[in-house]
Amino acid sequence: MTLDAGSAETNAIVDPRRMVDRGAEPLEAGRVGRPHGLDGSFYVTGPRPRLLELGTSVSVAGQTAPIVRRAGTDRRPIVRLQGVDDRLAAEALRGQALGVQQREAPELGEGEWWAHELEGCEVVDGERLLGTVSRLIELPSCEALEVVRDHRAEPLLVPMVKDAIRSVEVSEGRIEVNLDFLALPEEPRRAEPDPEQGGPS
């Protein structure tokens, strides 16, 4: 995930204290979608294009194989794995997760994070706690943080653009956002007790 450019400046940079565990759980590169053609190629749903480069070793259904074909677009990539040689073999894998070991993943640059690093982070504006990141979702124009708020049924969506994100501190589990840009309405204040009637005013 990359923080998209915006008109505002940001101090969201890669935290040097964040050290990726190269032997940790695999990163999910997407899932096997419907077959494409007869040679074992298939579409990838929910793709992370940077993890689907030609030659990358991918684990699926308990097996690991390199990507030997990469076509399509970043939004709708088409891949073929070594050993998956026909349409029936691709169909048998449909719905399975594609995993890439972190040691195989490309190094991230400034303003970039893997989705799992952002999940669980607290989202704040100054001292105001807005909620916790539940997942990263893809909008038509950009990616966005889905922020769960205890007191609201609907989650808050924070676009991953520089105008909305002030800073990302993964090591501290904290993301600072700009509420003015998000135009989040002020929450109603609780009714103050009426000292004369002993109840809410």
Q: Report the pLDDT averaged over residues 172-191.
A: 74
Q: Report the pLDDT averaged over residues 10-18.
A: 33
Confidence of residue 102 (pLDDT cuts 50, 70, 90): confident
Query: Can you give the pLDDT at residue 11?
Result: 32
CATH of the domain spanning 1-21+106-185, picked from 2.40.50.140, 2.60.200.20, 2.30.30.240, 2.40.50.220:
2.30.30.240
Fold designation for 27-100: Elongation Factor Tu (Ef-tu); domain 3 (2.40.30)
pTM, full prediction: 0.58
Domain boundaries, the chain: 1-21+106-185, 27-100
Query: Can you give the pLDDT at residue 29?
Result: 92
Higher pLDDT pick, 115 / 10: 115
Span 109-158, pLDDT tens digits: 777 888 888 889 999 999 899 999 998 887 778 889 999 987 777 888 99
Query: What is the SS3 string spanning the chain?
Result: CECECCCCCCCCCCCCCCCCCCCCCCEEEEEEEEECCCCCCEEEECCCHHHCCCCCEEEECCEEEEEEEEEECCCCEEEEECCCCCHHHHHHCCCCEEEECHHHCCCCCCCECCHHHHCCCEEEECCEEEEEEEEEEECCCCEEEEEECCCCCCCEEEECECCCEEEEEHHHCEEEECHHHHCCCCCCCCCCEECCCCEEC
